């Protein structure tokens, strides 16, 4: 089994993020060869974080790739059997002439990555890191919630939310539309690519991999204690979307 895993290549986009860095760590520990992408390979802190992981010296390959230049994901995906698309644009690159906002960039990014997976002829499955903010069980008329919370739930983007503004609203729009785009490949590529979407809630837990930097999700969770009003509004927005605050530990993601 160890020899089989050593021959399997897995790509993880956004490799230095909270979820992605733990994913890289777990994959290396299980014996897989990992292709991890970073926006900037000159970032010594992020590169050092990944290169310090056990088995990184023999089974980790780093690539530079940015959602705002999605064609860069071709080389890291080439030859891989599985792709974990974790990266997502959190702030708009105002220097971009291609996209007007993070939503356009995120949609173009997942499309380009999915196309790379199909062209590779080696990728068996694309696993997309989604968000529960895309899966609101709100009724279409906004009057209460549906009786069950399942795969048919999509956040209505035409609503005016009390706490949905700025970054939180832009993030919800981009994650919702990008997820719909990538899942469409299950219907349009004649079985050439299997796409799986994993919707994560507020992720907490050990953040030692981030060199004591507080992950955004953890900062939002602690906002009632720290008194950070913008983050607390994000927490209230999540409650407004879902009717509750879903929590998940990083090890369970």
Under 8 Å between Cβ of 28 and 5: no
Beta-bridge partners for 36:
12, 62
Q: How far apart are CA 196 and CA 9, in angstroms?
A: 18
pLDDT bucket at 2, cuts 50 / 70 / 90: low
pLDDT bucket at 210, cuts 50 / 70 / 90: low
What integer best gives the mean pLDDT of the chain? 90
Model-level pTM?
0.92
Higher pLDDT pick, 140 / 61: 61
- Residues classed as catalytic: 175
- How much is the average pLDDT of 88-104? 83
pLDDT tops 70 at residue 68: yes
DSSP state of 209: G
Contacts of 49 by beta carbon, 8 Å cutoff, 6+ apart:
16, 21, 209, 210, 211
Phi and psi at residue 83, in whole multiples of 5°? -130, 125
Higher pLDDT pick, 148 / 116: 116
- How much is the average pLDDT of 220-234? 92
Beta-bridge partners for 66:
69
Per cent of the chain over pLDDT 90 is 64
* pLDDT given at position 206: 81
Query: Residue 173: how many CA atoms within 13 Å on its side-chain side?
Result: 17
């Amino acid at each position: 089994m160890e020899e089989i895993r050593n021959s399997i290549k897995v790509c993880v986009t956004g490799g230095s993020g909270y979820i992605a860095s733990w994913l890289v760590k777990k994959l290396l520990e299980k014996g897989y060869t990992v292709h991890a992408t970073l926006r900037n390979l000159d970032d010594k802190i992020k590169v050092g974080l990944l290169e310090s992981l056990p088995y990184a010296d023999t089974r980790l390959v780093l690539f530079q790739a940015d959602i705002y230049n999605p064609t860069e994901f071709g080389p890291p995906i080439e030859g891989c059997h599985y792709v974990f698309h974790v990266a997502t644009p959190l702030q708009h690159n105002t220097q971009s002439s291609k996209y007007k906002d993070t939503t356009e960039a995120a949609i173009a990014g997942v499309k380009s990555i999915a196309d790379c997976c199909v062209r590779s002829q080696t990728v068996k499955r694309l696993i997309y890191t989604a968000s529960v903010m895309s899966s609101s069980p709100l009724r279409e008329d906004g009057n209460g919630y549906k009786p069950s919370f399942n795969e048919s739930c999509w956040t209505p983007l035409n609503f005016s939310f009390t706490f949905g503004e700025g970054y939180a609203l832009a993030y919800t729009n981009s994650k919702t539309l990008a997820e719909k785009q990538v899942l469409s490949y299950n219907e349009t590529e004649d079985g050439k690519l299997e796409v799986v979407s994993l919707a994560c809630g507020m992720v907490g837990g050990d953040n030692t991999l981030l060199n004591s930097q507080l992950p955004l999700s953890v900062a939002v969770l602690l906002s009632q204690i720290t008194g950070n009003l913008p983050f607390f509004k994000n927490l209230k927005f999540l409650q407004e979307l879902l009717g509750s605050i879903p929590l998940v530990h990083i090890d369970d993601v």
